[in-house]
Amino acid sequence: MVASGYRTKREIAVDLLRSAIIRGELAPGTRLVLETLSQQYDLSMTPIREAFPMLEAEGLIVQSPHKGAVVALMDREEIKELYTIRAAIEALATAEAVPNLLDAHLEEMAALLQQMESFQGDWGTFLDFDKHFHLVLYRAAGSQRWLETIGTLWQRSTRYMLASTAASGAIDAIHADHRQLLSACQERDAERAEVILRAHLKYSEQRLLRDWL
């Protein structure tokens, strides 16, 4: 039996390259040369090559017959597109999840919110806490496919949030949104939670667009 924690070399390559792209270590427009990446990440070229289609499906790279694999560019239109789709699916997940929330879910969300409000680390780690806070809610909707889609959209959005100088200055507003969302969840008010979630994402989109000239 294969251990549950086992990861193939292709999965390792996907994780390494995805992280490097999201965090800006592989900048937009960078040509992805197999030999260079193989040396940089101490992996053979085969799993790296196999990782490219998966990263392309996530919208993080673009492949063409003439240029090979290139890190996808970033632009305002993608921000608008991402947040339009996110608002639709995350609002749906919220509406479905709230009636299913248990006290344990609410306690976990409250604990994560407390950790975020006292957190003093880097912006990237803060976004990880933010993601886990929302995931506690979305998991209660009961759809693994929704979670997978939301995860892919988040990865592409995080690229912009880490590159933005405005987003990291909005932590107080994010805390306020989270407190309101948690309150709506505690009251089992799905309609109010959905409205708060949509507004939360709209504010995030607007902050990014202001910074992305």
Average pLDDT over residues 137-150: 97
Average pLDDT over residues 107-114: 97
Q: What is the pLDDT of residue 166?
A: 64
Q: What CATH number should be reported for the domain whose range is 9-71?
A: 1.10.10.10
Contacts of 48-56 with CB under 8 Å at 24 or more apart are 48/13, 48/17, 50/10, 50/13, 51/10, 51/13, 51/14, 51/17, 54/10, 54/14, 55/14, 55/17, 55/18, 55/21
Measured CA to CA, the distance from residue 49 to residue 202 in angstroms comes to 37
Average pLDDT over residues 66-92: 95
**One fold for both 9-71 and 76-211?**
no
Per-residue pLDDT at 4 exceeds 60? no
Q: Which CATH number fits domain 76-211: 3.20.20.140, 3.30.450.40, 1.20.120.530, 3.30.1330.30?
A: 1.20.120.530
Q: What is the pLDDT of residue 2?
A: 41
27: its two tokens:
């900048």
Domain coordinates in residue numbering, the chain: 9-71, 76-211
Per-residue pLDDT at 11 exceeds 50? yes
Per-residue pLDDT at 163 exceeds 90? no
Q: In sequence order, what are the residues at sequence separation of 6 or more whose Cβ sits closer than 8 angstroms to the Cβ of residue 14?
A: 51, 54, 55
pLDDT tens per residue across span 173-196:
999 999 999 999 999 999 999 999
Phi and psi torsions of 124, nearest 5°: -60, -40
Per-residue pLDDT at 1 exceeds 70? no
